[in-house]
Amino acid sequence: MSEFNEIVLAYGQSDEFSFVFHKNCKLYNRRASKIMTNVVSLFASSFTLFWPRFFNSQELQYPPSFDGRVVLYPSDENLRDYLSWRQADCHINNLYNTCFWKLVQEKGLTPNRAADRLKGTLSSDKNELLFSEFNINYNNLPELYRKGSVIIRPKSTSGDASPSPEKSMNNHSRGHDGKANKKPGSVVLHTDIIGKQFWEDNPHILNPKI
């Protein structure tokens, strides 16, 4: 987000990240392939560059690669539905994985037996398993794992998130050297984006004029 002013929100969980560009974005004349390749290549190189900062005792075993796609949503409601789907997926996967690895690491089940134990269970069943067998209240687990990471620009700096088309094109045509334009800061949240509260608290995300 520090390289692309046009991104107003990013959401990440598991092995995926979604980047939301504001609806009036003119970056690269809105060429989907150009936007996608630049975002994906920068993401992959940044992943490698900053890996030691977070996993300094563990070396990368092979060069990472990521696929990507550009989707144009016709309305704010459709966009919110997409993000809600991704956060719901985060919850579903984390609940399953928490149960699975507890069964393997603490109950001694093989991966196949753990998978069989969880096959066909509902979220309520998994919550009950965690509480009754491991004394874990799922709702007390860190929100980072239950809700993923939401990155937004503070409202005070959101005005910079919508540069003029000419300024936007000029900045990126110079190759993201970080010298042509100071980018606004961003904050990382682990919060609910399915309900209305987040969007009511941050109306500038979908309406940069606010």
Query: b or e along 152-171 (b: 16 or more beta carbons within 10 Å of the residue's beta carbon)?
Result: bbeeeebeebbbeeeebeeb
Strand-pair category, 7-13 with 149-152 = antiparallel
CATH number of domain containing 21: 3.30.70.3000
Whole-prediction pTM value?
Answer: 0.82
Report yes or no on 160 lying in a domain: yes
Report yes or no on 189 lying in a domain: yes
Domain assignment present for 75: yes
- Quick check: is 210 in a domain? no
Structural domain count, the chain: 1
- Which domain covers residue 196, as residue numbers? 7-205
**pLDDT on residue 210:** 62
Tell me, yes or no, whether 137 lies in a domain.
Answer: yes
Per DSSP, 120 falls in state: T
Residue 1 lies in a domain: no
The tens-digit pLDDT sequence of the chain (210 residues) is: 989 999 999 999 999 999 999 999 999 999 999 999 999 999 999 999 999 999 988 999 999 999 999 999 999 999 999 999 999 999 999 999 999 999 999 999 999 999 999 999 999 999 999 999 999 999 999 999 999 999 999 886 444 444 433 333 334 433 443 333 445 589 999 999 999 999 999 999 998 776
**Looking at the domain assignment, is residue 34 inside a domain?**
yes
In a domain, 142, yes or no: yes
Torsion sign (Cα): 207, 208, 209, 210:
positive
